Structure 1
Amino acid sequence: MQQNGASSSNGSEGGCGGERQSPSRSPLLLPTAATTRVRRFIQERRTLPLPLPKVMVVFSAAGDADKSGDAMATADDDDSEKSVATGVARGMPSRCPLKVGQEQEFPEVISLNVGGSHFTTRLSTLRRYEDTMLSAMFSGRHHIPRDADGRFFIDRDGAYFGDILNFLREGELPRRERVRGVHREAQYYSIAPLLERLEDTQPLTGEKVRQAFLDLLPYYKDNLERIVEIAKLRATQKKARFAKLKVCVYKEEMPITPYERPLFNSLRFERADGGGGGGGGGASSGEVKLFEHHCEVDVTFGPWEAVADVYDLLHCIVGDLSQRGIAAEQQCIGVCDKHLINHYYCKRPIYEFKITWW
């Protein structure tokens, strides 16, 4: 037993010769090359200064699976440092949030994608007027998404955005046929200087005057909806391409008595008859009679007090229906000849509207 111990001790300390003889005597299951590397690693470890570095060693041979757990536990101590290093190497974003108050920086030349239309302009052009949506968007305080090509994306129809840029660059106004569309976009982007300039040009100037006239008829929009609904219902019931309806349009009420009380869709007035004569007796004095008249039409417009006459209102009705894509034609077919009282008749003009649906 002492000889075996001595030989084993000499084998571990005897250098290369002892290492070549030890595999034949050792009962280990490791291959010869693996055993040599492990022993060499142990010998070199003794010469290293303390503290020793943490190294993970994994054995693939059977019987050493229990040691792999200890090796992995040693490597887990450096997971946080390794994950940080790996993240930096792969270009991952930093976990640190942006500082409060930090603003996004923009290049001097901005590429835009406005609803699929591409534009290029300077940053100073977009920021020309402070109190606008474009100036706020590119102030750096808001996040603006980008498309696949890196352009800043604005989710808006770009059909009139070129006119917006032309005004921001040189104060240029659009052509007349584009004024309404540009005015709508200027409202969205809150460009007050452009809105003021457009409202002083045609056709918006005329639209302001027209709207002032229509404000005198408080039921104008409701009556317009009634025309559409009645015409649609009649065309559907008759399975017809068009529908006809009668519309009464009158500017002033025909004077009947000093006590008349006209309404928007009727004529109502009261009249007091004087007392009867002597002798045979008669009707009691102070008797009040009420009369109310409705023209036999579908919709009635009027009365109003303005210089604009009946034909002006008819033009407004047809034009507003056309704006909604509804083709309408009108013609005068006479007057309301209904008898009211004594020798007074209604005499309101009646117009026939023809609405074509396809």
Structure 2
Amino acid sequence: MSSTGSRGTSVKSNVGSPQSVLEPTAPAQPGWASPLLPTRPPWMRASRMPRSPRHSCHSHPPPTQRHASRRKSFVHLLGHDLASLAISLNVGGHIYSTLLGTLLKYPGSKLAEMFNSPSRPTLDLEGRYFIDRDGTHFKHVLGFLRGHEPPPSLAEEVYQEAMYYGIEPLAKLLEDSPKLFGELVGRRQFLARVPNYQENIEVMVRVARAEAVASRQSTVIVCVVRNEEDAARCHEVVNGLDTDKESVVKFGPWRASPSISDLLYCIKLDIERKGYSTSYRAHEIGKSFLTRPCEFLYKFTFTWW
């Protein structure tokens, strides 16, 4: 039985056939079960079918090796492809924003290792990278990484940050500044030639604190000598004191050009850097109106309140 279409085309009708009269019969294709209900093509089925290791075309490394390779590729990606990524930092409560490449500018620094290592960085509650350190002067570290020099007035403070984050170019730059050059090359080199200088500073603080009970001030006697001859003379003077000889702190002798007054200034400076208020003057020996200042002994006064 035939019928004529709108354009005069003759179409044979097969009653009971599942095929529509408008769809021609498609030839069977490999991997297709039916022209009407196709199954997944072979390439999709193969991706889901388990394959035996004996017939696998590629050898798979053990899980530990796969994880290690992933960590390594993550570090590589972090250090290169994501250098232009903008990130936020929380440095001790101070919020900063910068590019990841800025932090990775010096690969050997501790700062770069914080963001270029397999270990996961610490995040705060807002998802910012967190560094547990006072961030007051971190802006000057970022400024240097961006091509700016830190202010000379903050050379010592920024120098401490440069040493902590391991940024050697910044540390060397600050060491050449007038303020740090005089401190590192001049004063500290001189104090390194004064025997037991730092230990004696600690002894002075302990003696002053021990005598501060129920007192507004406490005093510490200091003996300062430049050479061995002065040391012998100072020893005789100390033996004639009425005070406890064990509490007298001795500085010197040393082989350097700075004078006794220079060393006294250094002692006062380093004690005040520890947060104490102190002053000094020549210690007087003798009795009543016959007292006279001793050229070797000095009295440091600690004021507590």
Structure-2-length-normalised TM-score: 0.65
3-state SS of 2:275 partner: coil
Q: Name stretches of at least 5 consecutive residues in structure 2 with no aligned partner.
A: 1-63, 287-293
1:251-280 deviation per Cα after TM superposition (whole angstroms, max 9, x unaligned): 23448xxxxxx679747xxxxxxxxxxxxx
Distance, in Å, in 2 between the alignment partners of 1:264 and 1:188 is 45
Letter in 1 for 2:278: A
| 2:280 match | 330
Q: 1:264 to 1:156 in 2, by over 3 A?
A: farther
User: Matches of residues 279-290 of structure 1 in structure 2 within 5 Å?
Assistant: none
| Residues 1:354 and 2:301 are matched in the alignment | yes
Would you say the 8 A contact 1:264–1:301 is kept in 2? no
Query: How far, CA to CA, are the matches of 1:295 and 1:198 in structure 2?
Result: 48
Quick check: 1:109–1:120 contact (8 Å CA) kept in 2? yes
Q: 2:178 aligns with which of 202, 212, 225?
A: 202
Return the offset for 1:305: 2.0
CA RMSD in angstroms, aligned pairs only: 2.9
Contact 2:152/2:177 (<8 A) preserved? no
1:103, distance to aligned residue in structure 2 (A): 0.7
Q: Which residue in 1 is equivalent to 2:149?
A: 172
Contact 2:91 2:133 in 1 (8 A): yes
Q: Which runs of 4 or more aligned residues in structure 1 lie more than 6 Å from their structure 2 counterparts after TM superposition?
A: none
How far off its partner does 1:148 sit?
2.4
Q: Any idea what SS the aligned residue of 1:113 has?
A: strand
CA offset digits 1:268-311 (Å, max 9, x no partner) = xxxxxxxxxxxxxxxxxxxxxxxx98463512222222110000
Greater gyration radius: 1
CA distance in 1, matches of 2:104, 2:283: 59
Per the TM alignment, residue 155 of structure 1 is displaced from its structure 2 partner at its CA by 1.8
SS of match in other structure, 2:74: coil
Residue 331 of structure 1, CA deviation? 0.8
Tell me the distance in 2 between the aligned counterparts of 1:303 and 1:224. 16
Partner AA of 1:173 in structure 2: P
2:259 paired residue among 288, 303, 309: 309
Contact kept in structure 2, 1:248 and 1:349, CA below 8 Å: yes
Whether the 8 Å CA contact 1:241–1:356 is kept in 2: the answer is yes
Given the alignment of the two structures, is residue 252 of structure 1 paired with residue 227 of structure 2, yes or no?
A: yes
Q: Counterparts of 1:159 and 1:134 in 2: how far apart (Å)?
A: 16
Preserved CA contact (<8 Å) 2:195 2:254: no
Are the equivalent residues in 2 in contact too, given 1:115–1:154 (CA < 8 A)? yes
Aligned residue identity for 2:94: S
Amino acid across the alignment from 2:249? V
> How many Å apart are 1:146 and its aligned residue?
2.1
Distance 2:133 2:240 in 1: 48
Matched, 1:126 2:97: no
- Deviation digits for residues 182-240 of structure 1, max 9, x if unmatched? 1111111100000101111132211111111111112212221221122111221xx10
CA contact 1:243–1:354 (8 Å) conserved in 2: yes
For residues 166-194 of structure 1, what are the alpha-carbon distances to aligned partners after superposition, in whole Å with 9 as ceiling and x for unaligned?
A: 00001412341x22221111111100000
Q: Does 1:213 align with 2:190?
A: yes
SS for the counterpart of 1:141 is: coil
Pick one of 204, 209, 231 that aligns with 2:208. 231
Counterparts of 1:305 and 1:334, CA distance in 2: 27
- State the AA in 2 paired with 1:353: F
Secondary structure class of the residue paired with 2:200: helix
The whole-number CA distance in structure 1 between the counterparts of 2:234 and 2:296 is 13
State the percentage of identical aligned residues.
Answer: 35
Rounded Cα–Cα distance in structure 2 between residues aligned with 1:183 and 1:102: 34
Work out whether residues 217 and 301 of structure 2, in 8 Å CA contact, stay in contact via their aligned partners in 1. Answer: yes
Matches within 5 A, 1:30-41: none
Instruction: Measure, in 1, the Cα distance between the counterparts of 2:116 and 2:209.
Output: 50
Q: Could you tell me which residue of structure 2 aligns to residue 258 of structure 1?
A: none
Provide Cα deviations, 1:3-22, integer angstroms capped at 9, x if missing partner. xxxxxxxxxxxxxxxxxxxx
Q: Which residue in the other structure is 1:241 paired with?
A: 216
Look up the SS of the partner of 1:221 in the other structure.
Answer: helix
1:194 is aligned with what amino acid? L
Q: 1:293 to 1:172 in 2, by over 3 A?
A: closer
Partner of 2:56: none
- CA distance in 1 between partners of 2:199 and 2:239 (Å): 18
Give distance in 2, aligned partners of 1:335 and 1:206.
36
The amino acid that maps onto 2:216 is: R
Q: TM-score, normalised by structure 1?
A: 0.56
Q: 1:113 aligns with which of 65, 90, 111?
A: 90
Structure 2 CA distance for partners of 1:155 and 1:220, relative to 1, 3 Å: same
